Amino acid sequence: MGIVYNPKAGRPGRDRQMDYQAAFQYWLECGTLKKAAQAMERDGYRIVRKDGTISPFSFWTVRRGAWIWVIENPDEALKIWQDHGYFPNGKDEQWKHFVARKIRTHMPPKKGNMEKALRLNGIYEWYKENYEPNLAGEL
């Protein structure tokens, strides 16, 4: 699957060093971001900087990585959530609102990332009908 969020777009030379799916799964299993970041560090997930130093991922990085994975892998993420008791009705209105909020938070509208994410999640037309009229009224 294509990458919706490319870290190199903002700052050339950046790579995805974190396993975003692992970030999502650690967060679900541990319950909090702080515990997830600590567990990832304990299990060897660390960032290697250009100068060779190695440090743990911050819990904010774990959070962002987890949400980006969810946005880029909606069907797989929904199945995992359903296994944990969330979204029992599948891709209903509750799910659409939830995913739309996450896309608006984590996908910058510049360079079409937000549109790509909405299309990947199958809610582009729904979003235009439900959110864009409200945005026009806010201006």
pLDDT tens, 41-63?
999 999 888 888 888 989 898 99
Same domain, 111 and 121: yes
CA atoms lying within 13 Å on the CB side of residue 84: 14
80 Cβ neighbours under 8 A, 6+ residues apart: 24, 25, 28
Is residue 6 assigned to a domain?
no
13 Cβ neighbours under 8 A, 6+ residues apart: 50
Per DSSP, 15 falls in state -
Taking the C-alpha atoms of residue 34 and residue 52, their distance in angstroms, rounded to an integer, is 25
What is the value of pTM for the model shown?
A: 0.78
Q: Report which of residues 26 and 112 the model is more confident about.
A: 26
Q: What is the mean pLDDT of residues 11-16?
A: 47
Place of tokens 């993420």: 77
Q: Report which of residues 20 and 2 the model is more confident about.
A: 20
End position of a domain, from candidates 35, 54, 72? 72
60-93 pLDDT per residue, tens: 989 999 999 999 999 999 999 899 888 999 999 9
Same domain, 38 and 58: yes
Task: Provide the number of structural domains found in the chain.
Answer: 2
Terminus-to-terminus CA distance in the chain, angstroms? 35
pLDDT for 95 equals: 93
Residue 4 pLDDT greater than 70, yes or no:
no
Is residue 27 assigned to a domain?
yes
